[in-house]
Amino acid sequence: MKIAPSVLTADFANLRSELESISNADLIHLDIMDGHFVPNISFGPAIAKEIEKNTHLPLDIHLMVTDPLQWIPKFSFPKTKYITIHTESNHVSETIQAIQKQNIGVGLSIKPKTPVRALIPYINEVKLILIMTVEPGFGGQSFMTEMLDKVKELVKIRKENGLSFAIEVDGGVNDLTIELCKEAGVDISVVGSHLFNMENRKKGIDSLR
């Protein structure tokens, strides 16, 4: 299991030390919110660039925005491994092409009420599929176990079609729910408030992994 800490709940006044405290993670997950697609605003390219400058880890950028196409160049940093957009956003096909032109892995995400079939038209283009296990927009929500049925469905689709995309979950992951994720076939778990509330985060990452 790969662990991708979400820095949404980090102390941005002490960014460098916060990033050091999770330096044994596999990826850094950046939740970008525009206040329109979700009812919250997080941070933009300038803060994301500071995060990139202060970590050796690859970035896993999750665009919870209505119009992701305009943002692709602004989040295409040297350490950006994935840019994930939502099937519910605008200009999905064009945005996928824009991500590919940057030689960055395409990620696709669906909200809890969106079925897996919404991903199928793009399934051959993606390197990562992110299943939201909470309603996107706010941290600290409870894990929706029924979303793991989507994970199991994707594991089956991946195997049947000889595909190799990674399956990621985001929302409410802790030391208990991560066991359920592993059983369902999740490859990457995004962990937010559960991890950042720990005193020893490196130990916490090892334990979760």
Active-site residues: which are they?
31, 170
Long-range contacts of 87-90 (CB under 8 A, 24+ apart): 87/114, 87/118, 87/119, 87/122, 88/37, 88/114, 88/118, 89/37, 89/63, 89/65, 90/66
Axis-axis angle for helices 177-184, 148-160 (nearest 10) = 20
How many angstroms separate the Cα of 128 from the Cα of each of 83, 98, 187?
A: 9, 16, 10
Of 100, 93, 95, 150, which is closest to residue 122 (Cα–Cα)?
93
> Taking a C-beta distance cutoff of 8 angstroms, is the pair 27, 207 a contact?
no
| Residue 184 burial by Cβ neighbours in a 10 Å radius (0-12, 13-18, 19+) | buried
The token duo for 166 is 């990674």
